[in-house]
Structure 1
Amino acid sequence: MAILKVLQLTDLHILPHTGDKMLGIDTEQYFQETLAHAHATHGQFDLILLTGDLGQDPSTDSYRRICRHLQTYQTPCLCLPGNHDDWELMETELNAGVVSCRKHLLLKSWQIIALNSQKPGSPAGFVSQEELAFLQQTLSTNDMPALLAIHHHCVTSRSSWMDTMQIENGAELLAVAARFPQIKAITCGHLHQEMQTSHKQIAIFATPASCFQFKPFATEFELDTQAPGYRVFELYDDGNLQSRCYRVPISMNGLQTNEHSY
């Protein structure tokens, strides 16, 4: 049975200038190392999926550098925005060659649907009626197995401080998704940690960041010392899937774990 391999990277937090550091680490260097480790370990992918917070204080140059790093691998890349991103700038700078901000991609026997969960002026997520209508229209006209990608989480993570920043109308999103059996999974970023749960027939995943991690089950901002990570999906022709997270074997030396915000 044929397998599609999808690499999910999330929460890059690339800074405006090369060499800039955040919480003591070079997020761009960690992004490059995460990309390299994923390809060295798993070979070529059919798709690289980037689920938001690509930029921290985003700029034209930071998005262009991300685009150059991605184009090295000559693999289709799908980019969607997080709460730190400038979506308009992303659409301008991350639409070149294999890199795009498309919202719907057909990949052999699967469809990949990307939603925007940005809520202007807020770190929390919200799925607009326009996005929900797009989702319903897309699913009503295509019954291929679907992987839905979004930045914010739509179910609680049991990290109470992060759950104040989840999708505010997550129940509405799940209600729409549950009406369409072709949705097999929803995957997100934002949490800077791994999560796997389910809602009815839908598997729900969160993926570690390619930079620093947040401590699971924390009640307030707290950094974890786990290394950068990524998620690999194996999508099968019959609509089944398997997914697993991997960590880059590097030390988090320099991470400023005593910080209380970023």
Structure 2
Amino acid sequence: MPALKVLQLTDLHILPHAGDRMLGIDTEQYFQQTLAHAHATLGPFDLILLTGDLGQDPSADSYRRICRHLQTYQTPCLCLPGNHDDWKLMQTELNVDFVSCRKHVLLKNWQIIALNSQKPGCPSGFLSPEELIFLRQTLSTHDMPALLAVHHHCIASGSSWMDTMQIENGEALLAILEQFPQVKAITCGHLHQEMQTSHRQIAIYATPASCFQFKPFAAEFELDTLAPGYRIFELGDDGDLRSRCYHLPISMSGLQTNQHSY
């Protein structure tokens, strides 16, 4: 059995009002279904990790609804922002009981580090000098195995239109991580698709969205027919890390591609 089990959900794109639709689907409904499916088939979890774009045109009410859905499972939840999120509002509305916006969590002999890659007013990512200092200081202080979470991807995905929106200073991030062998993996969202690669000793993952997916290796915006998904991490006492993605057993053939507002 793994020492720890972590559920990653990303790119919820919850809309301002319950029942609102994006690209023809109710994103909140699919978020609830991914949560329920993950817990029914693979739970319970030690941590739920939400890696950004929690809200689409976010409002206090949309974050409160997310918080209520998460509280149902009485599991610690860690929330970080994506390019669509309101970070200040998140810190107000998503810091209740089990749900938090903490940037560093210690779980048994693992550490989870959450980075903010928001570049205000821009869809691409950037890690501020303060964020990189926080990362270096945290890794210098704690030598236990580390899983990093961030919204934007730090290396090219092969989808050229999405790669214009990756972390602009991703090389600076990787240069820091190369100095700390306890870093086992980075996981992100933003891509609305699964990715698994590596940089030296560090595994790099992207996780499917809890709503609609983007076609891999696409030159421009194109939806995939894959169902909403999520990722599971199994973190071993010895620093071993294993991960796999899962999708809901439903069809997504009814997506409306003429409503692109990403």
Query: What is the TM-score with the length of structure 1 in the denominator?
Result: 0.98
User: Residue 165 of structure 1 corresponds to which residue in structure 2?
Assistant: 165
Q: CA–CA distance in 2 between the matches of 1:127 and 1:183? A: 18
Q: CA–CA distance in 1 between the matches of 2:111 and 2:124? A: 27
Q: CA–CA distance in 2 between the matches of 1:260 and 1:77? A: 30
Residue correspondence of structure 1 range 153-232 to structure 2 within 5 A: 153-232=153-232
Q: CA–CA distance in 1 between the matches of 2:135 and 2:260? A: 37
Q: CA–CA distance in 2 between the matches of 1:178 and 1:211? A: 33
1:26-78 Cα offsets, whole Å, 9 max, x none, are 00000000000000110200000000000000000000000000000000000
Q: CA deviation at 1:2?
A: 4.6
In structure 1, the gaps of 5 or more residues are none
The AA in structure 2 aligned to 1:203 is A
Give the conservation status (yes or no) of the 8 Å contact 1:233–1:242. yes
Q: CA deviation at 1:260?
A: 4.4
Give the conservation status (yes or no) of the 8 Å contact 1:222–1:260. no
- Runs of 4+ in structure 1 off by over 6 angstroms are none
Query: What is the TM-score with the length of structure 2 in the denominator?
Result: 0.98
RMSD in angstroms over aligned alpha carbons?
A: 0.9
Q: CA deviation at 1:6?
A: 0.2
Q: CA–CA distance in 1 between the matches of 2:17 and 2:251? A: 23
Identity %: 83
User: Residue 60 of structure 1 corresponds to which residue in structure 2?
Assistant: 60
1:200-239 Cα offsets, whole Å, 9 max, x none, are 1000000000000000000001111110000000000111
Q: CA–CA distance in 2 between the matches of 1:2 and 1:40? A: 18
In structure 2, the gaps of 5 or more residues are none
Residue correspondence of structure 1 range 102-113 to structure 2 within 5 A: 102-113=102-113
Q: CA deviation at 1:254?
A: 3.0
User: Residue 125 of structure 1 corresponds to which residue in structure 2?
Assistant: 125
Residue correspondence of structure 1 range 25-36 to structure 2 within 5 A: 25-36=25-36
Residue correspondence of structure 1 range 133-148 to structure 2 within 5 A: 133-148=133-148
Count of residues in correspondence between the two structures: 262
Give the conservation status (yes or no) of the 8 Å contact 1:221–1:261. no
SS in 2 for 1:28: helix
SS in 1 for 2:230: strand
Q: CA–CA distance in 2 between the matches of 1:21 and 1:254? A: 13
SS in 1 for 2:88: helix
The AA in structure 2 aligned to 1:130 is E
